[in-house]
Structure 1
Amino acid sequence: MIRIIAPLIGLGFAFVLVLGLFGTITAEAQPEDASHEYHLSPRDAGLASAGIFGKFDNQQLQRGFQVYKEVCSACHSINLVSFRDLASLGYSEGEVKAIANQWTVEAPSVNPDTGEVATRKNTPADRLPKVYANEVAARAANNNAIPPDLSLMTKARGDGANYVYSLLTGYQPQPAELVAEHPTAATPPGLHYNPYFPTLNLAMSPPLVADNQVTYADGTPATVDQMAKDVAAFLTWTAEPKLEVRHQAGLAAFLFILVFTGLAYGAYRNIWRDLKH
């Protein structure tokens, strides 16, 4: 029985390998469409949080939060962040309370005496409010597209922070040669061309349209490039607020392993020193 089964298993394994090889050759033989030919890899934003020794720049995070609040929050929510989390950006307790109190959307509450739903001002314990009450409202306000929540955006996209930065600064007219080579790839009405977006065309209009769209409290010139970098840094923090702790833990673990390896090697040499000939 084993003599019969073994060749069958081998044939099955070989068949799977042939199918995989054929699929790879077929994929490589297919001509690339416009999205492959004109899609660009994200540019380096040069953020302080990048790399294994990266740290957050609180001034930049505060500027990024300002860009989000004054520009991006018109469509996008960050519902996984609470107002009190903003203290990590360097805001004082009073500033956090003021930010929560001034937010345009009020948090719902239930009257304990009557059971009626009312509204109240946000407190530091509340999460940043959702922009739209539900998906129907979101679609109605955005040409049937639902703006994604930005809480984990830099984790959900490859090369996240650089992707956000490149996307925000990448809007441009569609190249004439693209339309000439791929007539069906022309940007449809209502969409916008951006080579950093996977399909080249997206429903979101350019959010950062001019310099000085916001006025930074620290006096930093608010160019489109600077605003894009700042909000990319802020979204890196929303997705991974413990990034610095993780980097510190990783460095400590590396140093421990390095020292332990040295001690183990020294013990090995000491134990076997007199036993080798």
Structure 2
Amino acid sequence: MLRKGIALAALGLALIAAPAAQAATGHAVMKHVSWSFDGPFGKYDTAQLQRGYKIYREVCSACHSMELVSFRNLGEKGGPFYDPKYPNPNDNPYVKALAKDIQVPDIDSETGDVVQRPAVPADRFPKPYPNAAAAAAGNGGAIPPDLSVIAKGRTGGPDYIYSLLTGYKAPPAGLTVNPGQNYNVSMPGDVSGQWTGDHHKVPPGGFLAMPPQLADGKVTYDDGTPSTVDQQAKDVAAFLMWAAEPKMMARKQFGFGAMIYLALFTALLYFSYRRVWRNVAH
């Protein structure tokens, strides 16, 4: 009985101490955005996807690849540059123009040499670095992650991306930031090892190698939308969500149709049951 009492007391102390220990390690700040594609009837905002693509192309693509995305995907139904006049996205003139502005590596069929040529809709987005070693060398030893499905691969999805891009803050007094690191309140991590302040008040967030990438007016939007850091972060987060789940709208439409079918089938089944068994005692 004595041993059992000691064990229960130890468990109680552990449970009491758990919140304090959790508070000491800090947390990441997650901001929540009301996205146009939220909910069962939500859908992508085409104009926002177009702005998001521009942010990716002019800012993010310098370091981050999107190996699973082809230019023709931009012109598919639900994509940022879909045009119903061109059901085959390879024929979409706007997609062709976007691809043509980008140089991609190819092999000269006569000499076998590596050459650069204008991209076509069938090409995938080019990589900014030829290999992982080059990517690490160009970013202080950190390899920038591929962004093709990052919106589905990170807890919080587009909220996480938006929070991270807008989460850079000046480190509070007492927090040491090592060379090559950047403090971000929305980066999951534990900064307690570099915190000299009150251990009960560890700052939220963590460190990452990527410095702030967005700035007011850094990209000029063609539709006249004010190009603030907040707007840029929302737009590129929405674009990356589309890249990770380009068939989301079709999936929702199919699901809605399936629910209507099941409702009608249930009603038909119920009335059939009532008719077949109406004269049978229960």
TM-score with structure 2 setting the length:
0.79
The residue type paired with residue 100 of structure 1 is: A
User: Is 1:198 the counterpart of 2:188 in the alignment?
Assistant: yes
Runs of 4+ in 1 over 6 A off after TM superposition: 25-28
Q: Quickly say closer, same or farther: Cα 1:186–1:255, change in 2 above 3 A.
A: farther
2:81 is aligned with what amino acid? G
- Of 139, 149, 156, the residue aligned with 1:159 is 156
Letter in 1 for 2:59: V
**Which position in structure 2 is the counterpart of 1:53?**
41
The equivalent of 1:189 in structure 2 is 179
Q: CA deviation at 1:34?
A: 4.5
Q: Is the 8 A contact 1:155 1:239 kept in 2?
A: yes
C-alpha distance in structure 2 between counterparts of 1:250 and 1:174, whole Å: 46
CA distance in 1, matches of 2:112, 2:238: 42
State how 1:226-237 maps to structure 2 within 5 Å: 226-237=231-242
How far apart are 1:116 and its partner, in Å? 3.3
Secondary structure of the 2:22 match is coil
CA offsets 1:52-74 (integer angstroms, 9 cap, x no match): 21111111100000011111111
Q: Structure 1 residues 170 and 106, CA, compared in 2 at 3 Å: closer, same or farther?
A: same
CA contact (8 A) 2:81 2:94 kept: no
Amino acid at match of 2:100: N
Question: Greater share of helix residues, 1 or 2?
Answer: 1
- Match of residue 38, structure 1, among 27, 37, 49: 27
Structure 1 match to 2:94: 95
Alignment of 1:83-232 (within 5 A): 83-87=71-75, 88-90=79-81, 93-103=92-102, 105-111=103-109, 113-176=110-173, 179=174, 186-199=176-189, 200-208=206-214, 210-232=215-237
Could you list the runs of 5+ residues in structure 2 that have no partner in the other structure?
A: 1-9, 84-91, 190-205
**Structure 1: tracts of 5 or more residues without a match:** 1-21, 180-184
C-alpha RMSD of the superposition: 2.4
Deviation at 1:187, TM superposition (A): 3.4
Shift, 1:188, TM fit: 2.8
Q: Is the 8 A contact 1:76 1:149 kept in 2?
A: yes
Aligned length in residues: 244
- Which residue does the alignment assign to 2:52? 64
SS in structure 1 at match of 2:106: strand
TM-score computed with the length of structure 1 as normaliser: 0.80
Change (3 A) 1:27 1:194: farther
